[in-house]
Structure 1
Amino acid sequence: MSTVAAYAAPAAKAPLERTTIERREVGEHDVLIDIRFAGICHSDIHQAREGWGEAIFPMVPGHEIAGVVSEVGPGVTRFAVGDRVGVGCMVDSCRECDNCRAGREQYCAAGMTGTYNAVGRDGEPTYGGYAQGIVVDENYVLRIPDGLSLDVAAPLLCAGITTYSPLKRWGAGPGSRVAVVGMGGLGHMAVKIAHALGAEVTVLSQSLRKREDGLRLGADHYRATSDPKTFEELRGSFDLMVSTVSAPLDLDAYLSLLGTEGTLVNVGAPEEPVSLNLFSLIGGGRSLAGSQIGGIAETQEMLDFCAAHGIGAEIELIAAAEINEAYERVLDSDVRYRFVIDTATI
């Protein structure tokens, strides 16, 4: 075992505080990573405050991890000391089910092992990236291309893949009309990626407060959902909508914005149930879908794509002592667009 400094929530809804945690010894196929940066995802807040159900405490959140390899196990073939690497939302899966064999480890039939707030296959709780080091099996580690700075790459390990995967799966590209619902940590990445894929991109946000940013990041249009005219004028306008918000939406109103056989994909996960009139789907042959991060191979594909197109997250770099303040600011939508912790300050 080794001991590293970390920030943890000692109990549900409790402020995070500095502590130390134990990491396992580097095994045959393990990689020890010196964490340099860790993004703050809204998922961290949902889980630290038990918004998505009962959680495991103490909890060290963080599944947007970027760092440098400092040690490798004797059987490691993919990485070497000094490599720039990342870790996303999972650190293991069964590796045997149909989904794992197909590269969809996020949908592992036995359940993927989350980077934090989970129990590993060794029976021990997992602790995430708000720490100065982590040990991960090489099969769940990603290579960060040289064209990406580690600080702006960290959020790609969740926000990047969470938006890239549905955009690719549902055909965002030249000639497609894509709407991004929400202009936050996920939404701003969806705008950048959809634009780079060649789609015509519209942001649907509550207000026009971030309009200049949206257009700068690649949106062709920016509309306020607080204006009733938006839903009248854009009816039937989109082939694909990606909802990144974690608040419940009027799904019937948003589905009306899809053209025939269009799809609304949810990647934001509200804590409350939502309602739906099925005629909103039946009438236009529309689809309502969900998407959860991406597999390891697709995540590497996303990182390579972002490096090739010069895409990184828009970040606000903070010291570890500012984590609790950052949580409140995320809830107030007061961040443009991702907080990233400089883990040297832990």
Structure 2
Amino acid sequence: MADSTNAAEVVHDLFPFLRIFKDGRVERYKGADTVPPSLDPKTNVESKDVMISPETGQSARVYLPTNLQNPNIKLPLLVYFHGGGFVIETAFSPTYHNYLNTLVGESNVIAVSVEYRRAPEEPLPTAYDDSWTALKWVASHSNGNGPEDWLNRLADLGNVYFAGDSAGGNIAYHMCMRYGREKLEGVEVSGVVLIHPYFWGSEAIGSELKESIKRQFIEKLWRFAYPTTSGCDDPWINPLADPNMAGLGCSRVLICVGEKDLLRDRGWLYYEKLKESGWRGVVEIMESKEEDHVFHLIKPTGENAEAMLKKIVSFINQGKA
């Protein structure tokens, strides 16, 4: 008979994200709630869930604005990767469902919100592999005969954007780097939006110098999500450690940072280094004053959140460089 007291012992506590018990159970403190797809009356955006990989059970949520001015004109395609430190949240959470409804409604794009498997059940690099699988699924629609009708009829795969926040920003960046190396037949990536991207490094910079406890947590989370990582200068978490920075597979980048976010200085540093890397594109950065990490998801109707949304919409609607 199992010792219930022993089984209830917590062996990892990563508050405010999750904890793991000795018997292997994972309990997430937040980011576990989900909502079904819908026709959202506020934004006139319809959504549905699609299967991407029956082998792994991977799926995604697709969003489509219903008030199309001309159904014969194809729309830009946005591929979005949710955040959550690689360990919590989902493409189907209320937070991301509401945000994608708003973003799709304002920018008039089709969006694919990618669901990827999370650590610790599926440690990194699984999330990266799943995200690339989702992009190959998107590319399967390039000839108009893919499995999803909305993409076949209405998505312009010659004008694709990647975007994500926090860990999702990290994923969006790496998907654009992989696209730069391998390409996807029939797909042209116009730009990438990195919202408060989860980038890091072993040497403290800027405001990090005064935040040793927070630094320790960020590093602990990274090593927890990616047990086989080489550390905090692994190119997966520190893009500056990649000698091929200039291989980013798009011509336009928008980086969003928050003034009070501990990841702020990493965003600014990446902005500066990308410009110096030899990459032949245009990079912009927007800083939201007095705001912390992913504030736009926590208070989406605030003035700064609306300003950031407007900037992202404008970036996408500028089209290809």
Q: Looking at both structures, which has the greater relative contact order when contacts are Cα pairs under 8 Å and sequence separation is at least 6?
A: 1
Normalising by structure 1, we get a TM-score of 0.26
Hey, which of these two has a bigger chunk of helix by percent? 2
Normalising by structure 2, we get a TM-score of 0.27
